[in-house]
């Protein structure tokens, strides 16, 4: 089996998809920024939802895969007779999910499927509702390509340019970018 020396966290991939420059500044250059209040609030709600998941399955499960060089902390895993449910918690009342959130969920599902060697179903759990997301070969391939781009960035093999967008308004690094 091929193994990779450096492991990429799934959260790093989501950060890469949000803005490669931000990931570069924080993880490669070491730029620090205070945690935004909305993130602090989100973490508190996340803890409460984790308690709910622990009534039906396991929460906060760290899984790594040598072949993919990938590691992630899965919000929730619920075992059924012939499949596993992978639960990704999102503190939102949006009716849709961002592309980066979908790829993040797909990567958790991929880690669980390889670890457990059983089919998985991916569920996004938001305020008061569960939404199932179907996983295609195309989206899995897209997610795995994003892992490799993230690895390249973390290894210092690329320096992303500033790409001003509406994301910069809520970015805590917009004064140093
Ligand atoms: S200010 Fe904009 S370009 Fe710079 S790191 Fe933040 S989101 Fe990325």
Question: What pLDDT, on a 0 to 100 scale, did the predictor assign at position 5?
Answer: 60
Q: pLDDT digit string (tens) for 82-119? A: 999 999 998 888 888 899 999 999 999 999 999 999 99
Q: Residue-wise over 98-111: b if at least 16 C-beta within 10 A, else e?
A: eebbbbbbbbbbbb
Q: Which atom from ligand 1 is nearest to the alpha carbon of 171?
A: 6
Question: What mean pLDDT comes out for the span 3-29?
Answer: 89
Cα 124 to ligand 1 centre (Å): 27
Q: pLDDT digit string (tens) for 66-80? A: 999 999 999 999 999
Q: pLDDT digit string (tens) for 121-147? A: 999 988 768 899 999 999 999 999 999
Cα 89 to ligand 1 centre (Å): 25
Residue 36: pLDDT over 90: no
- Report the alpha-carbon distance of residue 150 to residue 162 in Å, rounded: 16
**Ligand 1 near 31 CB (within 6 A):** no
Cα 143 to ligand 1 centre (Å): 22
Question: What pLDDT, on a 0 to 100 scale, did the predictor assign at position 115?
Answer: 97
What domains, with CATH codes, occur in the chain?
8-170 (3.90.320.10)
Ligand 1: residue whose CA is nearest its atom 7: 168
Q: pLDDT digit string (tens) for 38-54? A: 778 878 877 877 888 88
Mutate to test the pocket of ligand 1, among 17, 24, 100, 177 (most ligand atoms within 8 A of CB): 177
Cα 17 to ligand 1 centre (Å): 12
DSSP-assigned letter for residue 81: S
Token pair 């790409």 in the structure block, residue: 163
Cα 20 to ligand 1 centre (Å): 8
- Angle between helix axes 99-116 and 137-154 (nearest 10 degrees) is 100
Ligand 1: residue whose CA is nearest its atom 4: 177
Residue 3: pLDDT over 70: no
**Ligand 1 near 163 CB (within 6 A):** yes
What's this model's pTM, rounded to 2 decimal places? 0.90
Residue 4: pLDDT over 70: no
Residue 156 or 6, more confident: 156
Q: How many CA atoms lie within 13 A of 7 on its CB side?
A: 14
Helix or strand or coil: residue 65?
strand
Question: What pLDDT, on a 0 to 100 scale, did the predictor assign at position 54?
Answer: 85
């Amino acid at each position: 089996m091929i193994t990779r020396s450096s492991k990429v966290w799934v959260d790093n991939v989501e950060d890469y998809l949000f803005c490669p420059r931000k990931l570069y500044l924080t993880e490669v250059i070491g730029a620090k920024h205070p945690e935004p209040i909305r993130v602090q609030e989100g973490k508190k709600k996340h803890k409460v939802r984790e308690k709910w998941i622990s009534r039906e399955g396991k929460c906060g499960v760290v899984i790594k895969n040598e072949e993919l060089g990938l590691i992630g902390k899965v919000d929730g895993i619920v075992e059924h007779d012939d499949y596993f449910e992978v639960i990704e918690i999102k503190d939102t009342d949006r009716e849709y999910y961002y592309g980066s959130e979908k790829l993040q969920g797909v990567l958790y599902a991929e880690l669980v499927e390889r670890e457990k060697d059983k089919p998985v179903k991916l569920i996004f759990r938001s305020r008061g509702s569960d939404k199932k997301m179907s996983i295609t070969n195309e989206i899995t391939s897209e997610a795995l390509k994003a892992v490799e781009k993230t690895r390249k960035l973390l290894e210092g093999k690329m320096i992303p340019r500033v790409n001003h967008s509406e994301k910069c308004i809520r970015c805590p690094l917009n004064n140093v970018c």
